[in-house]
Each structure stands twice: as structure tokens, then as C-alpha cells.
Amino acid sequence: MSVHVIADSSAKLAGVRAVLERKHAVTSELLRGLSIQRSNIHVLVIKVDLRGIDNICVLKKVLSGLSRVQKRIFLVEDSAHLSVSQAYALGATSVLVGAIKPAELLREIGDEMPGNDADEHSSAAAASSGEIALASMFTAIASGTPIDVGAARQAGARIAPVPSGKQGRETRK
């Protein structure tokens, strides 16, 4: 599936791409960057600060050239009703609020988190979930949003499962 990402900073762009590139053909552009030729896009993922009128005006212009794309997922960092409403006014089919949650984003696109299929215990699935969790943490730090600690713990549990009966912290004497 072809996914096109639009963001207002290179840090946001890199974070979203890191989550999507393993599973999809990804193209991307900065909001105020050079206009590129886009074709055969199935999903738009937009991570732009919608609190400023300048960003909204530029984004409207970009989106007008992408009117044929049916699925538009907006990633909004603040949970303010205004930002969510603005995303829907710009044509969002769904809005994800807060830090990037890889599993949630992939599910919204139409995929599951790597490792959720029958091969969930393979080393490749564990490494993939770890890679996605790390990319999400770096993106959260770069954008000043909270880190999704739960996703990091899940990835860690896939990489190094805790034997049954040893769920708590061990202390050595």
C-alpha cells in the first residue's frame, strides 16, 4: 500500500516514516518544502501543528491537489478540541491524538503491529517491534510529546520474555 506523509518538521517526518517504512511504500514531503509529483497514493498521514493559521492555509492548498485520496489520517499532538475539529474540517477520515503509537497507526492504515500474526514469537517480529518502539521514543523526544512507555515495555517483553512466575522485580542477596 502506498502511503504519503506530510509533516511540518523533519523530525516529525522521520518519526512517522520510521513506523511505516517496514510495511509500506512511503513518500513524504515537508509542508513548506518543494512540491513533488505524487501518484497512486492510497493513504495520507498528516502530522502538522494545526494551531497556526499559516500551517492550515498551506495544508489546505496541498490537500486540494490530493482530493482523490480517500483515507486521510491526521496525527495531532495536543488533545485540544480545536485541533481535532480542524483536522476533520480539513478532510480527516480519522484523527489520532497524542504521541505516535505505532500499533494504533498501523491498525488505522489497515495493518496490524508486526508480530501480531501467527509468527508473533519470531526473532524478526521481536526486533521489528523493538525498532518501532525506539523510533517512536525518539520522535516523542524530538517533538516534545510524552513517550509511550507501554509500547516500549511490550516491545521489551517480545525481545526478552519474562519467565512465568518472575513478573515482579527480583532482588539478589
CATH code (residue 128):
3.40.50.2300
Say how many C-beta atoms besides its own lie within 10 A of residue 98's C-beta.
Answer: 15
How many percent of the chain have pLDDT more than 90? 39
Contact 60, 166 (CB under 8 A): no
pLDDT above 70 for 72:
yes
Task: Decide if 171 is inside a domain.
Answer: no
Most confident of 67-76, 126-135, 152-161: 67-76
Q: Is the pTM of this model over 0.85?
A: no
Please say whether the dihedral angle defined by the alpha carbons of residues 128, 149, 77 and 34, taken in this order, is positive or negative.
negative
Quote the pLDDT of residue 155.
73
Does residue 168 lie in a domain region?
A: no
State how far Cα 101 lies from the chain centre: 6
Query: Is residue 125 in a domain?
Result: yes
- When divided into structural domains, the chain yields a total of 1
pLDDT digits (tens, 9 = 90+) for 76-135: 988 778 899 999 999 999 999 988 889 899 999 985 444 444 455 567 666 666 766 676
- Cα 68 to Cα 17, 43, 48, 58, 91: the distances in Å are 22, 10, 20, 18, 11
Let me know if residue 173 belongs to a domain.
Answer: no
25 within 8 A of 2, measured Cβ to Cβ: yes
- pLDDT for the residue 163: 67
Range of the domain at 108: 2-159
Q: Kindly state whether residue 74 falls inside one of the protein's structural domains.
A: yes
Residue 122 lies in a domain: yes
Instruction: State the pLDDT confidence band at 49, using cuts at 50, 70 and 90.
Output: very high
User: Which amino acid is it at 146?
Assistant: P
Domain contains 96: yes
Residue 137 lies in a domain: yes
